[in-house]
Structure 1
Amino acid sequence: MGRACRIFAILCWLAATSAWAAEVQDVRLWRAPDHTRVVFDLSGPAEHKLITLDNPSRIVLDISDVRLKASLSGLKLDDTPIGKIRSGIREGSDLRVVFDMSAGVKPRSFALKANAQAGDRLVLDLYDLTAATVSQPPPVTKKVDAGGRRDLIVAIDAGHGGEDPGALGPNRLREKDVVLAISKELYALFEREPGFKPTLIRGGDYYVSLKGRRDLARQRQADLFVSIHADAFTRPQANGASVYALSTKGATSTAAQYLAQRENAADLIGGVNLSDKDDVLAGVLADLSMTSTLDTSLKMGGSVLGRMDSIARLHKRSVEQAGFAVLKSPDIPSILVETGFISNPAEARRLATRSYQQQMARAIHAGIRDWFSQHPPAGTLLAWQKQQGGQQYTIARGDTLSDIAQRFNVSITDLKSANGMSDTRILVGQTLKIPTS
């Protein structure tokens, strides 16, 4: 009798579970400056329907033939327009998830098919109708002084974010965390630099599409777009920092092609509606090689690479090129900086420390500053300073007077004379007047 009861119970359990075609294995929530994202990780594909209800305001997701295995109670709803999340079963095997809203939103949902990096997912984006409730970088305008001279705007893009952790290193070190830390250090350096105005493309732990990153840089009228990464390779022995620019043809190396393919697949992991169209036309990209944009990107990248050489081993001693989607702005010089291989244990240990993150940010900052000091766009404060022979340079760690003289093509004697110096001693943070070469 006992054995028969056990068999009957098993059969009942099998009959019940067979009613569900898939399971919700996890539910994750991310807050971005302009929307809230909820991601349902599924064991297989599932159909769904999105419903909006008023009085009171609710967003309803009906997911067919799915069982909720994950818990909804642990989701942090602070700083989101969601007041409460409830769930239940309808029509025998369909899952209904109800979001009780505390503020108005514009909802959008879409399914993502399983790929090499992630399984099937259902994404619900709730776009704010009013001002965002989380901190975000303030709107950037080109600051103009009394003489009509503006600052240079540098768009700093921390790669990955949100549900896309990027490359993973030892001890659960995540690329998205490392590059956001370096990006914030870089932002702080430019914030203190006269003639520059930085803006963060991603100011927190959320995902921005590759196209969205370019669009934000353009909306903020950026003079330069610099994307910060710390990728991985198939072999843990791979090491070294690199700088990349766009290639409209083929990649300059197998490693560059591999890296571009990985980065271009980020939208599949980050959760982007793949029906969204990219407005950068192939014809525009073909013309990119005929403009100064790519040439400036390569030379700017070379300046950054030269500075990185003082603190890190370089993977390649020249700027590499590949078809990175994030760099495809035809009107903004754009570079991608690989700060190191997070898959290399030794480099991962360094990348995890704030001191090394600061060193890397200082090297990138110095390389960009070096280039713009010598090639400032017309109408900028830096261009005016150069014309007046009153260009200034703030000394960074590792600088020597001879290095500065060589960089600005002036003699040490003239540099000392312009600044009233009796010897070659300099201090970090000291500002030097650069005489006309």
Structure 2
Amino acid sequence: MLDVDRGGADPAPPVSNRTTRRTVLKAGGTLLLAVIAPALLPNLAHAAQILAVRVWPADDYTRVTLENDSDLKASHFVVRDPDRLVVDIEGLELNPTLKQLVAKIQSNDPYIKQVRVGQNKPNVVRLVFDLKEAVKPQVFTLAPVGTYAHRLVLDLYPVNAPDPIAALIEKGEWSNDPVNPPALLPEWQSALKSESVPPLADYPPELKTGPDETPGARWDPKADPKLEPKPEPKSDRVPQVTRMITIALDPGHGGEDPGAIGKSGSREKDVVLAIAKRLKAKIEQQPNMRVMLTRDADFFVPLNVRVQKARKVQADLFMSIHADAFVESTARGSSVFVLSEKGASSTAARWLANKENSADQIGGVNFKGQDRQLTSVLLDLSTTAQINDSMKLGKAVLGEIGGINKLHRGAVEQAGFAVLKAPDIPSILIETAFISNPEEEAKLTDDAYQDQMAEAVMKGIKRYFAKNPPLSKNRMT
């Protein structure tokens, strides 16, 4: 250091001291660089690693997911004539996993022809998607959740979004012309009268819940001496159906969200899609009925979009199909749930609703691109009338399901399921069985059981409409 009192510098130290000082300074500098370099130059210290690439093509949109070990920063732009999407990802070096994206693009993808992947410059990878038509891309990141690490998501939406009604018209499944009531209702009425067990809605309240509400309890109304079903009201007036009935089927989960996974590896999203397709085929065999699936393949649909799809086709019923899991593999039985405005009917129902409502986080929703206020308004418009109608539908379906599988509880349960919040459509959520129970997982993957479950739900739909014929659209509020 400088000696200000003597007005000059310290005399030169001996040679041995100078050598020691240089050695110490050199070592100290190396140590300091080692400490500050990662903070100042993160990309040089550790380039992000792509862990997995996935592509989910669908008519609605195509999703590309890059799962990685850190949060990535990406920019994108669209090029016309021909249509291309260019995505630049910073802090990334090209690796074999990312190169797999090229082979992941399917020839039948509605929106992507092919993709090119390359190292644009050091620490920047460029993806170029050659498109089949113009798209409106959404590029966003997702924080780690569940079994997933960080994800960079590219959603390619068509500029002209598909119209669900137009899709039904194209398939010959949509018409607003009046229908002939006798073609539909008498068959249902005769089927209803031929059944020996009265509908669940007619049982006294104390007999609807099963013994002590214990899981797995199964109540047999025919064996109960206290049962006194209400007589059918006599009336010469047969309710008339004056239009087509539209049913929205919602196979839960899909795409990035596998749902619950059984011990044998069965995925909920696959099981419920298979059951929904079987039910769809049965509904289409009924006179004057049509059906819309919120998803017909393996892709994810946000919860509020499922509701919006049902409303766009003016659905008369909304039925969400699931096969959930519980922390204990002994849990078993089928259940039916409807919306609740006053809280869940049980702790288990609340737990399940919270789990199902987290699907958006797992499936991956770009919340920045949504109008949260509009979504909130839609989900808060549910009415007491909707819940009452949903309860009637739920009881009709539960009564039929109880004939092929034990009921987890003997009554329709209620909780705040976001997917059931269509303000003007009776809506239920069906838990077909517990995929976490090895015995029930085997059932869920069995073709015969899937068909029996679809048939039971179909009978429940018939029972509901036989007692609650739909109003004509111009009389509905």
Shared fold (TM-score, shorter chain, > 0.5): yes
Pairing of 1:404-415 with structure 2 (within 5 A): none
Residue 371 of structure 2 is aligned to residue 277 of structure 1: yes
- What one-letter code is carried by the residue in structure 2 that aligns with 1:174? R
Cα 1:119–1:249 change in 2 (3 A) is farther
Structure 1 counterpart of 2:142, from 109, 112, 122? 112
Q: Whole-Å Cα distance in 1 between the matches of residues 132 and 378 of structure 2?
A: 46
Cα 1:21–1:273 change in 2 (3 A) is same
Q: Is the contact between residue 141 and residue 220 of structure 1 (CA under 8 Å) also seen in structure 2?
A: no
Residue 311 of structure 2 is aligned to residue 218 of structure 1: yes
Residue 397 of structure 2 is aligned to residue 304 of structure 1: yes
Instruction: Give 1 or 2 for the bigger CA radius of gyration.
Output: 2
Shift of 1:142: 5.2
Pairing of 1:106-255 with structure 2 (within 5 A): 106-129=136-159, 138-139=168-169, 141=174, 143-145=176-178, 149-255=242-348
Q: Whole-Å Cα distance in 2 between the matches of residues 40 and 50 of structure 1?
A: 15
Residue 293 of structure 2 is aligned to residue 267 of structure 1: no
Q: Is the contact between residue 74 and residue 89 of structure 2 (CA under 8 Å) also seen in structure 1?
A: yes
Q: Whole-Å Cα distance in 1 between the matches of residues 456 and 86 of structure 2?
A: 49
Cα 1:19–1:55 change in 2 (3 A) is farther
Residue 62 of structure 2 is aligned to residue 36 of structure 1: yes
Cα 1:281–1:125 change in 2 (3 A) is closer
Shift of 1:59: 1.2
Q: Which residue of 2 aligns with 1:101?
A: 131
Structure 1: runs of 5 or more not aligned = 1-10, 381-437
Shift of 1:47: 1.1
Structure 2 counterpart of 1:72, from 83, 101, 107? 101
3-state SS of the aligned residue for 1:307? helix
Cα 1:256–1:213 change in 2 (3 A) is same
Structure 2 counterpart of 1:330, from 423, 427, 452? 423
3-state SS of the aligned residue for 1:170? coil
Q: Whole-Å Cα distance in 1 between the matches of residues 271 and 179 of structure 2?
A: 39
Q: Which residue of 1 aligns with 2:188?
A: none
Q: Which residue of 2 aligns with 1:388?
A: none
Segment of structure 1 superposing worse, 351-360 or 244-253? 244-253
3-state SS of the aligned residue for 2:345? coil
Q: Whole-Å Cα distance in 1 between the matches of residues 146 and 278 of structure 2?
A: 33
Q: Which residue of 1 aligns with 2:456?
A: 363
- Encode CA deviations 1:76-126: one digit per residue, 9 max, x unaligned: 331223222222223421221121224322222111111234221111111
Cα 1:217–1:67 change in 2 (3 A) is same
Q: Whole-Å Cα distance in 2 between the matches of residues 158 and 225 of structure 1?
A: 11
Q: Is the contact between residue 117 and residue 269 of structure 1 (CA under 8 Å) also seen in structure 2?
A: no
Q: Whole-Å Cα distance in 2 between the matches of residues 55 and 137 of structure 1?
A: 28
RMSD: 2.5
Q: Whole-Å Cα distance in 2 between the matches of residues 255 and 137 of structure 1?
A: 38
3-state SS of the aligned residue for 1:168? coil
Segment of structure 1 superposing worse, 113-122 or 197-206? 113-122
Higher helix fraction (1 or 2)? 2
Higher strand fraction (1 or 2)? 1
Shift of 1:22: 1.7
Cα 1:78–1:20 change in 2 (3 A) is farther
Q: Whole-Å Cα distance in 2 between the matches of residues 150 and 326 of structure 1?
A: 26
Q: Is the contact between residue 336 and residue 431 of structure 2 (CA under 8 Å) also seen in structure 1?
A: yes
3-state SS of the aligned residue for 2:296? coil
Pairing of 1:22-33 with structure 2 (within 5 A): 22-33=48-59
Segment of structure 1 superposing worse, 272-281 or 201-210? 272-281
3-state SS of the aligned residue for 1:125? strand
Structure 2: runs of 5 or more not aligned = 1-33, 181-240
3-state SS of the aligned residue for 2:297? coil
3-state SS of the aligned residue for 1:329? coil
- Encode CA deviations 1:143-196: one digit per residue, 9 max, x unaligned: 433669202111111111112111111322111111011101111111111232
Q: Is the contact between residue 304 and residue 366 of structure 1 (CA under 8 Å) also seen in structure 2?
A: yes
Shift of 1:299: 1.5
Cα 1:284–1:171 change in 2 (3 A) is closer
Pairing of 1:39-58 with structure 2 (within 5 A): 39-58=65-84
Pairing of 1:312-327 with structure 2 (within 5 A): 312-327=405-420
Segment of structure 1 superposing worse, 70-79 or 357-366? 70-79
Structure 1 counterpart of 2:88, from 62, 70, 78? 62
Q: Whole-Å Cα distance in 1 between the matches of residues 147 and 439 of structure 2?
A: 25
Shift of 1:271: 1.5
Provide the TM-score with structure 1 as the length reference: 0.78
What is the number of equivalent residue pairs in this alignment? Answer: 363
- Encode CA deviations 1:292-320: one digit per residue, 9 max, x unaligned: 11001011101110101100010010011
Pairing of 1:333-344 with structure 2 (within 5 A): 333-344=426-437
Q: Is the contact between residue 32 and residue 207 of structure 1 (CA under 8 Å) also seen in structure 2?
A: no
Shift of 1:265: 0.7
Cα 1:33–1:57 change in 2 (3 A) is closer
